């Protein structure tokens, strides 16, 4: 089994800004991956569980879901300084494009027992939502607007410098 290298930060860590920039600069799309969760098959329906601290390389601090996305709309369009996310298509399907400022790759998520681990410093965009699809996101941190990079140009500058400063 391949070992996953994770730049791990605990949810209550107060990271200084230089460390945040370093983490953002060093991650690549190869640090992201599909994780398949254990399935329990039953005649009356299947069950998949996510066990905190066991199934993912982070402790879950926040859960949110996205649904009723209009045709042609995109979600995401940001990166995080410190937050890891695990993105699952609970129902239906959608694409997740990840971008590290050098390379891009698009995953199609369509199985409720598989998800995409997105590490800090990776730009993500969700698109091509099927009708009735539901996206579940499990996050390593509570919502913090200061953890977001929402402008792609800023993201690219962060990826090109060693310390986030030019």
Question: How far is it, in rounded angstroms, from Cα 14 to Cα 6?
Answer: 18
Size (the chain), residues? 166
Active site residue 24: no
Which candidate in 40, 78, 84, 102 is catalytic? 78
Of 78, 96, 87, 77, the C-alpha closest to 146 is 78
CB neighbour list of residue 68: distance below 8 Å, 6 or more residues apart = none
Report the catalytic residues: 78
């Amino acid at each position: 089994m391949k070992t996953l290298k994770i730049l791990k930060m605990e949810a209550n860590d107060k990271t200084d800004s230089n460390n945040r920039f370093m983490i953002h600069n060093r991650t690549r799309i190869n640090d992201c991956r599909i994780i398949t969760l254990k399935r329990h098959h039953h005649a009356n329906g299947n069950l998949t569980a996510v066990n905190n601290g066991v199934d993912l390389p982070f402790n879950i601090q926040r859960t949110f879901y996205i649904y009723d996305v209009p045709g042609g709309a995109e979600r995401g369009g940001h990166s995080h300084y410190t937050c890891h996310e695990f993105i699952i298509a609970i129902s239906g399907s959608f694409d997740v494009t990840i971008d590290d400022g050098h390379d891009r790759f698009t995953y199609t998520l369509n199985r409720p027992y598989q998800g995409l681990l997105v590490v800090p410093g990776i730009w993500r965009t969700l698109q091509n939502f099927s009708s009735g699809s539901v996206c579940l996101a499990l996050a390593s941190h509570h919502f913090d607007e200061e953890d977001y990079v929402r402008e792609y140009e800023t993201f690219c500058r962060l990826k090109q410098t060693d310390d986030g400063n030019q």
